[in-house]
Copies of this chain bind each other. A is one copy, B any other.
Amino acid sequence: MAISIETFFLSPDGEGTLQARIQQMIAHGILSGRFRKGEKLPSSRKLAQHLGVSRITVTLAYTELLANDYLESRDRSGYFVSENAPEPPQFTPNPTSNGDNIDWSRALGRRFTGGRTPTKPLDWSSYRYPFIYGQTDPSLFDHANWRHCALQALGQKDFSALTTDYFDQDDPKLIEFIARHTLPRRGILAQPDEILVTMGAQNALWLTAQVLLTQRRTAAIEEPCYHALRDILTQSRCHLSAVEVDPNGLPPEALPDHADVIFTTPSHQSPTNATMPLDRRKALLDKAREMDALIVEDDYEFEISFLGSPSPALKSLDTEGRVIYVGSFSKSIFPGLRLGYLVGSKQFIRECRALRASVLRHPPGHIQRTAAYFLSLGHYDSLIRRMGQVFARRRKVMEQALADHGLGVEGRGVFGGSSIWMRAPKGVDTEELDHALRARSVLIEPGRTFFRGPGAPRNFYRLAYSSIPSEHIPEGIAILAQELAKARS
């Protein structure tokens, strides 16, 4: 029996090459049971004519399906659904199968929703003035070389790195690069068993919180701070002590008398961008020693330091194993990468590794290997340098525009960073401001989620220059100034 040509239909909003779409259409027909074994397909000439594509496209699709044993060819009589083609399901899905009679309010043992993650639009790149934080600028990212490294990591030679179940281990190439090149540039020496690859910095902070904190322990955090860190600590049920930061970051003298773990961002305080001076770093270490607390250093955006050399990490001053260091490639390569690392004492790393193995075994091998190539071929440093040059220019334009409109800057990084922390006049709700601005194609990040509790101030916001072209900045700031003026009146 021949399959009627009318059943072939290329959906107009399909994606991929024509060949891929034809291949997909036929595979789906077989997998769904519409095309049966032994049925004859239209000739490539007829199908090409019917679909309005070139005959070679259909022939190539057929050849590929032949190789995959979806089709078989019989001498001079054309292509047929192969006898070895995958079996369609022999049962139909039960349409009543997604009923729900469960009392989930009782069935759920713990709740994890309710964090205050800000809502960022996924279509941010369609905004004309995206002062959005933490996304990749396609004009800066080194797509070609990343692709090249990914391809290399997909090669036969790297087959085992790609496919192996490492159990609880990391890619040795990536660990070696981090130990030999990345960490020494932060003043840190570490052995492979003092390093753990994580699914981004957030995963590193999460693992650390699980291993170090319990309901009976106290964590000190910066106020304001990265909202996901607050969520992680809240979920761990430890006591939280929030310490207000000043223009030099976390003031050690303001720490409570007792804390078990101090979370800090000395390179660029998140979100105020303050850089902690050397004296204060030493004072913080002294204070931690005094109360026998550990310090978790999120070395946030250290690499975006285009206005001066970054200072060594706090960890580099640590002679006791008191500092746990969190680094990330996700921010500087691209956030979808989800790749970071933890550095700390062997005993600590061993527990984090065991927990990571239980949660997800290990970060995917292919991603680790691709990053190892990207780093070791020097593409990472080139990317950071290029970003620094462009960010410096954008920041200058932004500073000028903010000054022109008299907008209140609350914090900016001494060494760089990718954003400016802003304060609107009291009484302005920046979430409402954000709403009004979106209608005018401007994206800002309201600041409320960085503060704790219901009394969080509403007049702060963050303006990033990591994803907006310089030439759009003045106009974006002008619109912002107009909407701010409206909001005040």
Q: Give A contacts to B, CB under 8 Å.
A: 15-16, 20, 23-24, 27-28, 30-32, 65, 68-70, 84, 86-102, 104, 107-115, 117, 120, 122, 125, 134-136, 138, 141, 143, 146-147, 150-152, 154, 156-157, 159-169, 181, 183-191, 194, 199-200, 202-203, 206, 210-214, 217, 228, 231-232, 235, 260, 294, 309, 312, 315-322, 334-338, 345-348, 350-352, 354-355, 357-367, 373, 376-379, 381-382, 384-386
Contacts and interface: CB of A to CB of B under 8 A. Distances in A.
A206 B20 CA distance: 36
A483 B210 CA distance: 45
Contacts of A30: 378
A382 to B, nearest CB: 4
Contacts of A146: 154
Contacts of A150: 150, 154, 366
Given A87-B309, A159-B138, A364-B364, A355 B112 contact: yes
A189 B319 contact: no
A300 B309 CA distance: 52
B97 A361 contact: no
A97 B319 contact: yes
B117 A345 contact: no
A98 B189 contact: yes
A122 B347 CA distance: 23
B378 A23 contact: yes
Nearest to A27: B378
A321 B99 contact: yes
Given A163-B335, A351-B112, A358-B228, A189 B94 contact: yes
Contact of A189 (B93, B109, B160): B93
A489 B390 CA distance: 75
A162 B112 CA distance: 27
A184 to B, nearest CB: 5
Interface centre among A151, A317, A346, A347 (most CB of B within 10 A): A347
B378 A24 contact: yes
Contacts of A164: 122, 135-136, 335-336
B101 A358 contact: no
B68 A382 contact: yes
B319 A360 contact: no
Contact of A113 (B23, B114, B336, B354): B354
A352 B169 CA distance: 26
A183 B377 CA distance: 42
A94 B325 CA distance: 15
15 contacts: A23-B378, A69-B385, A70-B378, A89-B184, A93-B183, A98-B191, A112-B358, A122-B166, A138-B163, A150-B150, A164-B335, A164-B336, A203-B359, A228-B357, A336-B365
Contacts of A117: 167-168, 357
List the 6 closest A-B pairs by CB distance, nearest first: A27-B378, A100-B321, A165-B335, A163-B334, A199-B360, A336-B365
Nearest to A386: B69
A439 B68 CA distance: 40
Nearest to A95: B189
A91 B122 contact: no
A96 to B, nearest CB: 5
A318 to B, nearest CB: 6
A267 to B, nearest CB: 14
A352 B329 CA distance: 26
Nearest to A364: B338
Contacts of A360: 199-200, 202-203, 206, 338, 360
Given A141-B163, A206-B360, A354 B115 contact: yes
Contact of A214 (B109, B141, B186): B109
A179 to B, nearest CB: 11
B212 A109 contact: yes
Residue in A189, A199, A260, A378 with the greatest tally of chain B CB atoms within 10 Å: A378
A416 to B, nearest CB: 13
Given A113-B354, A164-B136, A122 B334 contact: no
A113 B91 CA distance: 44
Nearest to A362: B338
